[in-house]
Structure 1
Amino acid sequence: MSDKPSEDPSSTPEIPDDVWEQFARDTERDIRGSAPKEPSARARLVTERLRQQEARGELPEGWRTGPAHQGTKGRAGRSRRLWTVIGVAVAVAVAVVAMKPSLLPGDPFGSGSPESAAASPLPAETAAPTAPPAATDPETPTLDEPFAGSPALTWADGASGIVLPEATALGRIPEDRVATALQLTKKLLVGSNLDPKTVRGERPVAALAILDPKQPELFDDLNRSLRTPDKDDDPLSMFSRFDPAEVRLVSDVIKTRGRMTFKKGDQGGVAVRADYTFVYPVVRTDGSVEVTRTIVRRVLEVELLDPARYVATPDRLNVLHRDRDVGNTACGIHDGYMHPQFPSAAPTGDPATGPTADPYDRSRELGADGAGQCGTASRT
């Protein structure tokens, strides 16, 4: 730095050289060691932060003198180019997400995508739906993801989807009697539609054990249908069965959704109505890995009679009504099994004569359209 100030000698007293030299040395030492004597509050904060960063080694070497102008300009140019590239990438990502929000993990925008639905299973059904489930992405089911692209992805697994309503007394019928009727109905549904032995075509022993043997007509009909199934005596009217030589379940998981209600029956017992849909992912037994799904909806009405008033077996159910609708099975085959159709294979059975319907639509009444006809499933 200069040894002497450049003031006009006429306006400034002359100072000896040794005094200026001492002043220069003191000033340089003070500048290095401390901030100005009367800095502002902001200046003190900035100075202290810089000092601490330098002590921790967070500032580049030579930061006090500043980078050369050319280096600064080069780095600034590279920084601008980097941020330009990042900005373009971000803009592209935002555009893609705007067109398909389901690409984001979870459901940050409440889009109701399959991924978000999978993370948030549906609550139990407590009333009849007013519309079919919303459309889903047309994903192909696989061995690892057999319910991909299906509304059943968010449904409960197996028996956990059969949620019983809270039992209450029905006049003189006590609460525990109502609870027994509900529990027996659930056991009948499990034995008829979820029991592995039943599903793979074996005799549905667990389900038959819930039915009252003193209802002879029903037992005779069911036993005949299991022995010699045909169009008139079809075990599928009560049981969900596949031919074990043709297909097998992909896994132990069968998706279930529905509801159960109860009231006092016409014969003075506990009358229960069950309306449930079961979704079965299957694969052929010939070594193929192609997965398809068959959807079965059942409406079952039963009554637990009072054996003190009627000829009935204690804690056994009488079947009053049964109805079903099957999505994705061959038409015109009456061998007691469901025969799923695979996209890559030629159709089997007779051509469909009934209307096209959504097998996941639980808002429609069974038999309302095309009763007794074999239709086409709009989706599986």
Structure 2
Amino acid sequence: MPHGDDLDQRFNELVAQIDAEQQRKMRAAAKKGAKESRRARGDELERLRREARREAAWEPGWEAPPPRRRMRRGWLAVAGMAAVLAAAGAVVSLRPDLLAPAGPVPEETMPVAAAPLPSQTGADTGPEDTSGGPFAGSEAESWAEGAAGFVMPEAKAIGGLSKEDVAEGIARTRDLLAAAHLDRETLMGGEPKAFMKLLPPKERPWFREHLDREGPGDTRWWVTSFAPGTAEQVGDVIKVRGRTKLTSFELDGREGAKLEADYIIVHAVRRPGQPDTTIRLLTRKRGTFLVYREAGELVVWVRQSGGYATPARCDMDGGFIHPSYDDSTPSTKSPVGDPVDPYELDGPQPKYNCQASTGT
């Protein structure tokens, strides 16, 4: 052929061989592909628009939230600092000599009270009438028994929490107080399993790690424990009187309800196997509990715990209470300051690390 292959003619002949139905299907497929491509581009544009709208909705003055992984680490870091603060509060409350300079200790601390001084008070540290029980003749005789003495405030919506959440937080706080100060295994110097079981999952390992550790970080101070082998409980009754205050709090980006507990707890104890050594031993326990929601879960965090005991030795280290019986050898650390009444909930509090009480 003088002009070579006629490509247009050959293409037209090829197309002519395709019937009308097949041509319709090919045109439909082409239109569908173009439509899906436009939809994909439209979805991507809409995603970008949504992100832009979300960024524009952030409150002025707030930083953009960090990625999820960094946020989780941030909460853990905050939780760790809160636990450290709680331990520091317990140390200042119970052992101010470890952190405070020489001289009087601020009133808000909770130093260990010494056994009463007979020369000052003439009071007997033992029960006046054991025939009526170990609490007969004392102010604690008419007090509530056990967990019933942990009187709690009425629940209400506060700190962004519902009334139901606050009621649950109050119930858990009461359980924590009972486990810390009434559980027999804990009282006798054992591992405070009942208390640890009730701690938030993020606080529990920290408490266990610092339990019975030498120095100011000993979390044994958070619970009531007599030094192993120094005491046994007389009967099953423990007397309790006190109160808990409910307020709101905001801390480290959290908000919720704050419960401030303040209770006097009276134990009847004796030297193991020696009934004639029975005494009433008082502990004053104060604690702060934070109730809030995190990741959809209700948390009750032990923020602070402290207290004092009488009659107890002042010359022993550690978080265990060493009862001072009538026949105990004199403490090598003498009490200072005016005697305080350990039964008085609203009276003057001990100002020194080792101060006398007026009797139990």
TM-score calculated relative to the size of structure 2: 0.59
Q: Which residue of 2 aligns with 1:159?
A: 147
Matched, 1:246 2:235: no
* Matching residue of 1:303: 290
Contact 2:335 2:356 in 1 (8 A): yes
Q: 1:316 to 1:357 in 2, by over 3 A?
A: same
Shift of 1:202: 1.1
Mapping for residues 117-136 of structure 1, pairs under 5 Å: none
Residue type of the partner of 2:225? Answer: R
Gap change, CA 1:353 and 1:231, over 3 Å in 2: farther
Q: Aligned pair in 2 of structure 1 residues 226, 141: CA closer, same or farther (>3 Å)?
A: farther
**Cα distance in 2 between the residues matched to 1:292 and 1:236:** 23
Matches within 5 A, 1:170-189: 170=158, 172-189=160-177
1:204 aligns with 2:187: no
1:114 alignment partner in structure 2: none
Residues 365 and 317 of structure 1: CA distance in aligned 2, closer, same or farther (over 3 Å): farther
Contact 2:187–2:226 (Cα < 8 Å) also in 1: yes
Quote the offset at 1:225 in angstroms. 4.4
- Which structure has the highest helix share of the two? 2
Aligned to 1:374: 354
Once residues 233 and 354 of structure 1 are traced to their aligned partners in structure 2, the CA distance between those partners, rounded to angstroms, is 27
Would you say the 8 A contact 1:299–1:322 is kept in 2?
yes
More deviation in 256-265 or 207-216? 207-216
Residue by residue over 1:187-225, the C-alpha shift from the partner in whole angstroms, topping out at 9 and shown as x without a partner, is 110000001111111111121122223247xx53x3344
Partner-residue secondary structure (3-state), 2:211: helix
For 1:292 and 1:323, how far apart are their aligned partners in 2? 23
Q: Report SS of the residue matched to 2:325.
A: coil
**Distance in 2 of aligned mates of 1:181 and 1:213:** 15
Cα distance in 1 for partners of 2:219, 2:336 equals 22
Of the three residues 324, 329, 332, the one matched with 2:312 is: 329
The alignment partner of 1:190 has SS state of: helix
Give the equivalent residue in structure 2 for 1:263: 247
Q: What secondary structure, in the 3-state scheme, does the structure 1 residue paired with 2:198 have?
A: coil
**Farther off after superposition, 269-278 or 287-296:** 287-296
Does the CA contact (< 8 Å) of 1:234 and 1:334 recur in 2? no
Structure 1, 328-337 or 164-173: larger mean CA deviation = 164-173
Contact 1:188 1:210 in 2 (8 A): yes
Q: Which stretches of structure 1, 4 residues or more, deviate above 4 A after TM superposition?
A: none
Cα distance in 1 between the residues matched to 2:269 and 2:177? 20
- Kindly indicate whether residue 348 of structure 2 is the aligned counterpart of residue 360 of structure 1: no
CA distance in structure 2 between the partners assigned to 1:331 and 1:204 by the alignment: 23
Shift of 1:171: 6.1
Equivalent of 2:263, from 259, 265, 276?
A: 276
Q: TM-score, normalised by structure 1?
A: 0.56
For residues 281-292 of structure 1, the aligned pairs below 5 Å read: 281-292=268-279
Assess if the C-alpha contact under 8 Å between 1:333 and 1:349 holds in 2: no
Cα offsets for 1:48-82 (capped at 9, x unmatched): xxxxxxxxxxxxxxxxxxxxxxxxxxxxxxxxxxx
In structure 2, what is the Cα distance between the partners aligned to 1:194 and 1:316?
Answer: 22
Aligned position for 2:208: 223
Describe the shift of the 1:353–1:232 C-alpha distance in structure 2 as closer, same or farther (beyond 3 A).
farther
C-alpha spacing 1:173/1:288, structure 2 compared with 1 (3 Å): closer
Counterpart in the other structure of 1:237: 221
Q: Name the residue aligned to 2:22.
A: none
1:350 aligns with 2:333: yes
Paired positions, count: 234
Superposed displacement of residue 157, structure 1: 0.5
Larger proportion of strand: 2
Partner of 1:294, secondary structure, is strand
Structure 2: gaps spanning 5 or more residues: 1-120
Deviation readout 1:304-354 (Å, 9 max, x if unpaired): 121138xxxx34421222231222110121243211112233334532245
Question: CA RMSD of the aligned region, Å?
Answer: 2.6
* Structure with larger RCO (C-alpha < 8 A, sep 6+): 2
Of 209, 213, 216, 2:201 maps to: 213
Q: What amino acid is aligned across from residue 298 of structure 1 in structure 2?
A: K
